[in-house]
Amino acid sequence: MEKATAVANPNIAFVKYWGKTDEELNLPANPSLSMNLAALTTVTTVEFRRDLPADLVTVDDRPLAGPALARVLAHLNRIRALAGIDHKAWVASRNDFPAGTGLASSASAFAALSLAATRAAGLWLDESALSRLARRGSGSACRSVPAGFCLWEGEDDETSYARQVAPAEHWNLTDVVAIVSREHKPVGSHDGHGLAPGSPFYAARLAAVPGWLADVGQGIRQRDLGLLGLAAEADALAMHGVMLTSLPPLLYWEGGTLAVLKAVLDWRREGLDVYFTMDAGPNVHCLCLAATAAEVEGRLRRLGVPEVVVSGPGQGVRLVDHYLF
């Protein structure tokens, strides 16, 4: 059988996905809209081999274990079932960005794994089928399959996948990520999703999502940062409002988080065109145009943010012709 290597970027959602209607299928309670992040990549090589006694998975040269390994094995089993094979797999994956910093490495990881493993198993999936498959591994991974700006919507397993709404070249929107903490979040996104319906704000956020989705979609089409940015901020704060009113409260923020959020609001009052969004973690994604990114990065560093990543829109998951083993 073949060996295959795929490269994928993580993505940042401007309208988030928080809460699921189907835990097993990773069907989200609301549509989401994201941009792939060109500056960050996961590279994954997969080979199915008859001579392997067991699946072997390494991430950044360390063998994977525990629940993280179980998630990958479950995904490999899905692909083996699709291909009608029972070979064990050798999987090596490498990230060029710090893992565990809330940069959505599971999105790029499961997008790259889905493409590399299906190719290695002799399958050719089209983009929508690949996005559906990636979704089963990690919900947001489906948005890292198409290139550029992606909308994830759909009702059931058949229809729930991400589609491109604009290519990466459409707009020089830039994400300046303030990495305020490298600590691993105390409650993972998976458990967080399960707590969401317990918040008194859960339904209210879902009811507000279509409005934000419309604004973000129009913001991308018209390259209107203000329209996209205000909706992205409102949605991110609403998601964190749902989190903090879950039982028990999910407090993903750190002191540095608050400092950056307040700074971005202050900078905008001063006239700098920058907006924030956040994932399920303490880091703050500052959204601006490419021309403003250096200014935003400099201000974040002067604020004392220990690490800053600057990224424009990225491509979709793709095959490359080199291998990690």
How many C-beta neighbours within 10 Å does residue 320 have? 12
In angstroms, give the least distance from the CB of 50 to a copy of itself: 49
In angstroms, give the least distance from the CB of 233 to a copy of itself: 7
Q: Which is nearer to a copy of itself, 64 or 238 (CB)?
A: 238
In angstroms, give the least distance from the CB of 164 to a copy of itself: 29
In angstroms, give the least distance from the CB of 41 to a copy of itself: 32
- Contacts with a copy of itself by CB under 8 A lie at 200-201, 203-205, 207-208, 230, 233-234, 237-238, 240-242, 244-245, 247-249, 251, 253-259, 261-262, 265
Look at residue 312 and give its three-state secondary structure.
coil
d(CA 165, CA 298): 31
Q: Which is nearer to a copy of itself, 99 or 237 (CB)?
A: 237
Q: Which is nearer to a copy of itself, 10 or 219 (CB)?
A: 219
Question: CA–CA distance from 97 to each of 16, 182, 263, 317 (Å)?
Answer: 22, 12, 25, 17
Q: Which is nearer to a copy of itself, 282 or 316 (CB)?
A: 282
H/E run at residue 58:
strand 56-59
Q: State which amino acid sits at residue 246.
A: S
Q: Which stretches within 171-201 are classed as H helix? A: 189-195
Q: Which is nearer to a copy of itself, 85 or 303 (CB)?
A: 303
Q: Which stretches within 84-171 are classed as H helix? A: 105-120, 127-137
Write the CB contacts of 242 (distance below 8 Å, at least 6 apart in sequence).
Answer: 18, 19, 196, 199, 201, 202, 205
Q: Which is nearer to a copy of itself, 81 or 207 (CB)?
A: 207
Q: Which stretches within the chain are classed as H helix? A: 66-83, 105-120, 127-137, 189-195, 202-221, 225-244, 255-269, 293-302
In angstroms, give the least distance from the CB of 47 to a copy of itself: 44
Q: State which amino acid sits at residue 105.
A: S
In angstroms, give the least distance from the CB of 271 to a copy of itself: 15
d(CA 171, CA 133): 28
Q: Which is nearer to a copy of itself, 111 or 232 (CB)?
A: 232
In angstroms, give the least distance from the CB of 88 to a copy of itself: 41
d(CA 87, CA 106): 24
